[in-house]
Amino acid sequence: QGQLVESGGGSVQAGGSLRLSCAASGLFIRTHGMGWFRQAPGKEREFVSTISWSGDYTYYADDVKGRFTISRDNAKDTVYLQMNSLKPEDTAVYYCARLMGGFYRDQNRYDYWGQGTQVTVSS
């Protein structure tokens, strides 16, 4: 048993930046793809980004492409999400999760989830 712990959320003005971290504690993630999801008030949780286990491949939802960058440091068992040019529409609770395999956009393919970190972007 183990857990994923997100950090780095906060409140920023539109156009600002935040860097989220997802640290694995007692959980093996080095050979797993990892993903970020988010859930805004009144909406379903949605895919944001994912990164392959090696870090060689990354994928993004269309509405964050070019603004967000996912990365990982396997030596530190940590995954990051650099968020630039933030918009009010990015306001949500952001979750990281461990990918079991298969279609990376399918939430059912992720087996461990963090508790989330709040990101609030004001206009």
pLDDT of residue 118: 98
CA distances to 63, 87, 102 from 67, in Å: 9, 10, 25
Q: List strand residue ranges (DSSP E) for 44-101, in order.
A: 46-51, 58-60, 68-73, 78-83, 92-99
- Residue pLDDT, tens place only, 9-34: 999 999 999 999 999 999 999 999 99
Alpha carbons within 13 A on the beta-carbon side of 80: 12
Reported confidence tier of residue 43, pLDDT bands at 50, 70, 90: very high
- Residue pLDDT, tens place only, 79-117: 999 999 999 999 999 999 999 987 888 999 999 999 999
pLDDT of residue 103: 85
